[in-house]
């Protein structure tokens, strides 16, 4: 059975003051407090702005026991057609050096949008991008269901890249929930099951969801199956609205520990 680490996607939410962070907690204190309750975090600010090595080094220093996954910058996953992705991916790679050096980087997540279709040009682009990031622990999340085929999975296995398993509502336009291992790393992202607002105009409401006890019990079984096949299993709750990700992550930790004695 693999090492299982459970946390949240992002941590720096001011709306978590009260539900999670004590009243009066300053933003610069969030990470050290978070690390008292979880052993891993998925950094997602890096999608919106390119991370810097000094910044990531300081984050590690403020929470030395914490392990990190980090989302790739959008210049690599949503703006590849601009032609600057090679330089941007090299810049991103260099920024991760402090986490790599300290041995606390577990994964780099490449999250592609539903508009990233299973087409020859995109397949060639993904192959080139994975080569540029070779040496990093990589996981790929596809939102287009056409990527969910044996050719994709075999290609990821050949490159030792993890296939990100998802939990999200079963609505038209979403890929299926499919748990597959393609490397020594299992990666599970829990987005909530908010069917009514998933494609709504208010993107924030998409992640306004609290998993029920029954749903968390079912996720525990999925986690058990994944952990039987991987050396390390990472689980991140992305239902961040109102601190619901924290509540669900803490409860899943309890269920997992109870299941495994």
Three-state secondary structure call for residue 46: helix
Confidence of residue 228 (pLDDT cuts 50, 70, 90): very high
Higher-confidence position of 165 and 195: 165
Say if residue 201's pLDDT is above 70: no
CA angle 137/160/150 to nearest 5° reads: 130
Domain count of the fold of the chain: 1
CB within 8 Å of 94: residues ≥ 6 apart: 53
Say if residue 178's pLDDT is above 90: yes
Section 61-72 average pLDDT: 98
Query: What CATH number is associated with residue 30?
Result: 3.20.20.410
Half-sphere exposure of 103 (CA within 13 A, CB side): 1
Three-state secondary structure call for residue 154: helix
% of the chain residues with pLDDT over 90: 88
Section 151-165 average pLDDT: 98
Confidence of residue 48 (pLDDT cuts 50, 70, 90): very high
Section 57-77 average pLDDT: 97
**pLDDT recorded at residue 121:** 93
Cα–Cα distance for residue pair 196/206, rounded to 1 Å:
8
Cα–Cα distance for residue pair 238/128, rounded to 1 Å:
28
CA angle 218/113/243 to nearest 5° reads: 50
Say if residue 94's pLDDT is above 80: yes
pLDDT, one tens digit per residue, over 106-126 is: 999 999 999 999 999 999 999
pTM: 0.96
pLDDT, one tens digit per residue, over 68-93 is: 999 999 999 987 555 788 999 999 99
Q: Which domain holds residue 74?
A: 3-259
Confidence of residue 246 (pLDDT cuts 50, 70, 90): very high
SS3 letters for 190-215?
A: ECCCCCCCCCCCCHHHHHCCCCCHHH
Say if residue 1's pLDDT is above 70: no
Mean confidence (pLDDT) of the chain: 94
């Amino acid at each position: 059975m693999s090492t299982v680490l459970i946390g949240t996607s992002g941590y720096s939410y001011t709306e978590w003051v009260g539900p999670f962070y004590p009243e009066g907690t300053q933003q610069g204190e969030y990470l050290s407090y978070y690390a008292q309750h979880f052993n891993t975090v998925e950094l997602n600010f890096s999608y919106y702005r390119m991370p810097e090595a000094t910044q990531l080094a300081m984050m590690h220093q403020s929470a030395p026991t914490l392990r990190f996954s980090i989302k790739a910058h959008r210049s690599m996953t949503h703006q590849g057609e601009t032609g600057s992705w090679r330089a941007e991916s090299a810049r991103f790679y260099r920024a991760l050096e402090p986490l790599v050096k300290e041995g606390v980087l577990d994964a780099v997540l490449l999250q592609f949008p539903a508009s990233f279709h299973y087409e020859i040009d995109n397949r060639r682009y993904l192959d080139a991008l994975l080569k540029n990031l070779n040496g990093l622990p990589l996981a790929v999340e596809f939102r287009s269901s056409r990527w969910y085929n044996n050719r994709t999975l075999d290609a990821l296995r050949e490159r030792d890249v993890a296939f990100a398993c998802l939990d999200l509502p079963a609505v038209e336009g979403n890929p299926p929930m499919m748990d597959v291992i393609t490397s020594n790393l299992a990666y599970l992202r829990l987005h909530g099951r908010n069917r009514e607002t998933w494609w709504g105009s208010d993107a924030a409401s998409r992640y306004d969801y609290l998993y029920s006890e029954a749903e968390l019990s079912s996720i525990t079984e999925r986690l058990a199956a994944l952990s039987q096949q991987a050396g390390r299993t990472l689980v991140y709750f992305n239902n961040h609205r109102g601190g619901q990700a924290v509540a669900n992550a803490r409860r899943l930790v309890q269920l997992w520990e109870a299941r495994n004695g």
